[in-house]
Structures are given as C-alpha cells and as structure tokens.
Amino acid sequence: TGTSGVGKSSILQNLLETMKEFANVSPIFMTFSAQTGSMQTQLSIEGRLEKKRKNLLGPPVNKSSAILVDDVNMPAVEEYGAQPPIELLRQFQDQRGFYDRKKLFWKDIVGTTLLLCAGPPGGGRNDMTARFTRHCHVLCMPNTSEEAMTLIFS
C-alpha cells in the first residue's frame, strides 16, 4: 500500500518479470476498477491457469504462478457492504479455489500466490474488510523524496 505514484505496481511488475526469467514464475497481471465484477475476475484467473484435471487448475509444469492485482480496493461496494471480486479472492485465499459457476463443482487451485497493490481509501478506493486483509502481509511504500524526484525528472 502507498499513495498514488510511489511505484507499487512498477516495482512488483519488474520483480515478477525478473522472477519469470530466473525463478520459473508465471506472472498474471490484473487491474481492478470500480466496474470489476467477480465473474470477470474468476474468468481472468481461470483463463491464465492450466487445467490439470477437471477440478484442478495450476501453472504450467515445473512453474509456480503469481497473480498481481493492482488497485485491489477499487471495486464498488454493493448494498450489503461486500465487494464481490475481493470476496472471490478471499475465498481463493481461504480455500485455495472456487466453484465452477456453470456446473457447480469445486475447482482447486495449486501453485499460485496472490500479490496485491492498493492505495489508501478515498477517491474511489474503498476500505478492505478484515476478513480479506488478515491473509495479507502489508508493506507500505513511502512517498518519493524531493531529491529523488529531482534526480528522476532532471
């Protein structure tokens, strides 16, 4: 977490690209918005993982997968206070999978890690529930110093 423009997304994207080359990690990049839905999120995750069996999804053989979700706290809050895409990610963290929505059977997901980027609440961003954040190790990025900004843009 950190304010806009401190480089959260860039740092993690560069890390995953490096890990892709040297650590056999298959990165999956997603960006949430206020219109992101849980079905869209699930289909995006399922589409980037291999089907190992009818009820088992995972990264390619001899690889692990990392899903980077940028602006994870952007989805709109519904009338009961939930954010469906975040609840889907919470279910993935709690139970390591989710249900097939057409045939109603459970799909396990293996070898996959979740990385999240979020800005502070406000300006379209919402608070995340404790049920979800309990799964997270929170790292805060400080604002860029004036000296660093001068070095970057001079």
Q: DSSP class of residue 117? A: -
Q: What pLDDT sits at residue 2?
A: 65
Residue 134, class by beta-carbon neighbours within 10 Å (0-12 exposed, 13-18 middle, 19+ buried)?
Answer: exposed
> Which parts of the chain sit beneath pLDDT 70?
1-2, 6
What's the pTM? 0.86
Residues 47, 139: Cα–Cα separation, whole Å = 29
pLDDT score at 148: 79
Q: What is the pLDDT of residue 145?
A: 81
For residue 51, the one-letter residue type is: K
Distant-in-sequence, close-in-space partners of 109: CB < 8 Å, separation ≥ 6: 45, 49, 56, 57, 58, 92, 96, 97, 98
Q: Please name the amino acid found at residue 119.
A: G
Residue 68, pLDDT score: 92
The reported pLDDT for the residue numbered 139 is 78
Predicted local confidence at residue 130, as pLDDT: 84
What pLDDT does 144 receive? 80
